Amino acid sequence: MAYLDKEKIKKSLTKEDVKKILADLGSENYIDNGGNEIYFKTVCHGGEKYKLCYHDNSKLFTCYTDCGDTFDVYELVLRSRRAKGINLNFLQAVKYVASITAHLFYSNIEEVKSDRIDDWQWLNRIKKTRDKEKVNNDNKIISEHILEMFCYLPHEAWIKDGITEESMQKYQISYWAVENKIIIPHRDIEGKLIGVRGRAFNKEDLEKGKYMPITVEGICLKHKLGNNLYGLCQNEEAIRRIGKIMLVESEKSVLLADGFYRQNNFTVAVCGSNLTDEQCRLILSLGVREVFIAFDKEYTDADSWEAEAYANKLIKLAKKLNPYCTVYILWDKRGLLNKKDSPLDKGKDVLEELMKEKIEVDTDFDISIES
């Protein structure tokens, strides 16, 4: 499986390529005295002076005005678009540079796995911005540079599970060859990066947990899962428009739902089997009329004590919300799912069957879940 090689593309850039990119970004005029440097207008944040310098020997830019930073062409694209209110992800920036210059260099998965990615080169850039980190809802905002460490490569395991490549691209799912993990960025409702989790495949990592925050340079990129809803920044518009929200346990279920419903995906993950007060506050702030609790199946027999205990737990969670909106539980009465399955794991048709058989929880609701 091939992917765009960001390093090969960057190293191949000529001065003429850079002029094409800057012209497209809004700085058609430049000062080129024939040496190593070219001066452009500061498109990374706007401005009329020729204070953005391109260094051809290092393939880096230095902004001598407000930024005071040195960065590569991909960061320039991200900053320039951000200044115009357009938020791209890193993969989109690489594709942009490749398409403008027609430098379409690819590498395959075998090369990625054998290449020990120089993580520390990127982390040195992160250190420079660490002092500028802010706190938002008790979740630290992480530098976007961290995502440059990883390869935007759809993992075969998730493709086999039914997650589309388009969905993985939308949610910026990537792969870390060094640790053999699928990388899952977590963003708050405003789109700010607040945590990075990994889906492990190595036996020693799985013993600690299948889904865990990743650690780089001794720093754990964790966040308070209970203070956020995974997928909300991507699906907020659909949730508000439709007036419904479906709560699932895992990030993977949100990605599956994206493949089912695309722009109408109203699914978010609580990242666990609990529902915190802060998550309830976020849900109610969206103005939803209906909430669907679609947690993983934790029983085999719907008539067992195990099922009754789990039903009690879900009902308790539902009652946090039902004074304010209609709350339903998706409950598998007919054995459509296996134990530990998410309601989305067996596909769209099974999910919609479970939706038809949903159980409403009102304020006086007591155990009445029967097959």
DSSP assignment of 208-255, as one string?
A: T-SEEE-EETTEE----GGG--BTHHHHHHHHHHHTEEEEESSHHHHH
Report d(CA 256, CA 166) in Å as an integer: 11
pLDDT of 371:
42
For residue 365, count other CB atoms closer than 10 A to its CB. Answer: 15
Q: Are strands 326-329 and 290-293 parallel, antiparallel or unpaired?
A: parallel
Q: Is 230 exposed, middle or buried (0-12, 13-18, 19+ CB in 10 A)?
A: buried
Residue 33 pLDDT: 85
Q: What is the pLDDT of residues 238-287, one digit of tens each?
A: 999 999 999 999 999 999 999 999 999 999 999 999 999 999 999 999 99
Angstrom distances, CA of residue 361 to CA of 68, 242, 296, 352, 365:
56, 20, 18, 19, 6
Q: 69 near 126, Cβ under 8 Å?
A: no
CB 321 within 8 A of CB 291: yes
pLDDT value of position 133 = 38
How far apart, in Å, are the Cα atoms of 292 and each of 130, 208, 257, 314? 39, 31, 13, 11
The pLDDT tens digits of the residues spanning 112-146 come to 444 434 444 445 554 444 444 333 345 678 887 78
Mean pLDDT computed over every residue of the chain: 85
Q: Are 106 and 2 in contact (CB under 8 A)?
A: yes
Residue the block writes with tokens 């679609």: 294
What is d(CA 103, CA 78) in angstroms, rounded to the nearest whole number?
Answer: 19
Question: Residue 84 has what pLDDT?
Answer: 80
**Residues of the chain below pLDDT 50:** 1-2, 109-122, 126-137, 367-371
Residue 178: Cβ within 10 Å count: 16
Whole-number Cα distances in Å, 339 to 15, 134, 293, 322, 335: 59, 41, 17, 27, 9
Q: Cα separation of 198 and 211, whole Å?
A: 6
* CA-based nearest residue to 42, from 33, 50, 32: 50
Residues of 104-140 as b/e, b for ≥16 C-beta within 10 angstroms?
eeebebeebeeeebebeebbebbeeeeeeeeeebebb
- Distance (Å, rounded) from C-alpha 343 to C-alpha 353? 10
Q: Are 309 and 318 in contact (CB under 8 A)?
A: no
Residue 2: its pLDDT value, please? 47
The distance of Cα 268 from the centroid of its chain, to the nearest Å, equals 12
